Structure 1
């Protein structure tokens, strides 16, 4: 599902350097990434999603070399292939929770907003405990509720790859377990891989593989 080869990246003139000689994730894997803050974990997710582009190397996702696509092509590919739960949620306050969940269908011609997609959004919201809050805007939701909206948005298109940046960070222990169950259930149904950044080591036994970022970014200086 993901193949990274000889990836290099830096932010402008900063001292941050990211170098990944090789990294792979198989289509049925549930992989957790741990490591200290500022080590580049979120940066790598953004590179995989095509939000950032590498200075060098290759990133292949689901058979597409994301690093070679144009800006427009990357946005369309991301919306149709990747579900991304952002750490800051990235919700649009002028849209309701329901509209935020269905937002990928608004911006991607390859996706069709039909009754099935709407029903799936309703079902996901119910599973996340926000089924009665779909007409509210993000400013009227708690932080945990906003996070659940972001999770539903990432899953509604049945993506082939789910990227999660601290998806359970603002939830209580019971909710964390339920949300992780939902992520894995949706991944299984779609045949998707899960790549999750987390600081919650209690969740690590739930993953098939755990990588310490310092171990696989050989030679990085960040």
Structure 2
């Protein structure tokens, strides 16, 4: 599902350097990424999603070399193939929760907002506990509710790859387990892989593999 080779990336402002000789994620795998703040975990997700471009190296997702696509093609690919739960949620306040969930359908013609997609969104929202809040705007929702909207948006397109940046960070312990169950259930139905950044070590036994990302900061192959 994901193959990264000889990747290098840096932020010139603070001297941050990320070097990944090799990294892979197979179809359907559930991988948790841990590591200290500033080690580059979120940066990797953004590189895989095509939000950032590497200085060198190859990033391939579902057979497509994302790092070689134009900006417009990367956006379309991300909307149709990748579900991304952003750490800051990235919701648009001028849209309702329902409209935010449907946002991927607004930005790419590769997706069709049909009856099945609308029904799937309703079911996801109900499973996440926000079925009665879909007409509210993000400013009228709590942080936890906003996070649930972001999760529904990531899952509604049935992506082949789910990228999660602290998807359960603002939730209580019971909700964390329920949301993780939902992520894994939807991933299993779509045959999708899950790559999740988390600081919550209590969740790690739920994943098939755990990677300490601090090793990549030093450029060590794992």
Q: TM-score, normalised by structure 2?
A: 0.97
CA contact (8 A) 1:21 1:218 kept: no
1:41-80 pair list within 5 angstroms: 41-80=41-80
CA distance in 2, matches of 1:191, 1:83: 13
How far off is 1:132 after superposition? 0.2
CA distance in 2, matches of 1:218, 1:58: 19
Match of 2:21 in 1: 21
Deviation string 1:134-155 (CA, Å, 9 cap, x unpaired) is: 0000000000000000000000
Match of 1:145 in 2: 145
Match of 2:5 in 1: 5
How far off is 1:214 after superposition? 1.8
CA RMSD after TM alignment: 0.9
CA distance in 2, matches of 1:113, 1:83: 16
Match of 2:170 in 1: 170
User: Does the C-alpha gap of structure 1 residues 154 and 184 become closer, same or farther in structure 2, counting only changes over 3 Å?
Assistant: same
How far off is 1:217 after superposition? 4.7
CA distance in 1, matches of 2:120, 2:113: 11
SS at match of 2:12: coil
Match of 2:36 in 1: 36
Following superposition, which runs of at least 4 residues in structure 1 exceed 3 angstroms of deviation?
Answer: none
CA distance in 2, matches of 1:76, 1:219: 31
Deviation string 1:94-116 (CA, Å, 9 cap, x unpaired) is: 00000000000011100001111
Aligned residues: 220
Extract unaligned runs of 5+ from structure 1.
Answer: none
CA contact (8 A) 1:163 1:194 kept: yes
Deviation string 1:176-197 (CA, Å, 9 cap, x unpaired) is: 0000000000000000000000
Tell me whether 55-64 or 12-21 shows the greater mean CA deviation: 12-21
